[in-house]
Amino acid sequence: MDDFALDISEAEAVELELTGIPARLVRRDPETQAVVTREAALSGAWRELEHVQGTELRVGIQQLLKGQGGTDDMVLVAHKRSRNFRELLAGIEELRAAGVALPD
């Protein structure tokens, strides 16, 4: 059994922000939730991705780079009950394709 601090794998929130919890301690849904490391975010490739611009995905990555949250990685979430769900999900897919989000 894996040790984890928080299970968000079945979360159906309008909005969810995780801070201070290393991604390795979060059980998540790999389809709608992705891990981004500070190292990968430093590449800057996310800045040009269409479905990341103007979303909380961009804000989350910016916070990670500023050191907010106190960890070297974070879980980004396409909130299933958000009216922007499809755009957020497309953003997560773009982040994975660009090598910014870890593949699952």
Distance CA 38, CA 70 (A): 11
Q: Is the pTM of this model over 0.85?
A: yes
Residue 1 lies in a domain: no
What are the C-alpha distances in Å from 77 to residues 1, 15, 36, 61, 86? 24, 9, 11, 12, 12
Total domain count, the chain: 1
Q: 92 pLDDT exceeds 90? A: yes
CB 14 within 8 A of CB 80: no
Q: What is the pLDDT of residues 29-44, one digit of tens each?
A: 999 999 999 999 999 9
Q: What is the pLDDT of residues 18-75, one digit of tens each?
A: 888 899 999 999 999 999 999 999 999 999 999 999 999 999 999 999 998 889 999 9
Closest CA to 55 of 82, 20, 29: 82
Residue 104 lies in a domain: no
The parent domain of residue 81 ranges over 6-97
Closest CA to 76 of 36, 24, 19: 36
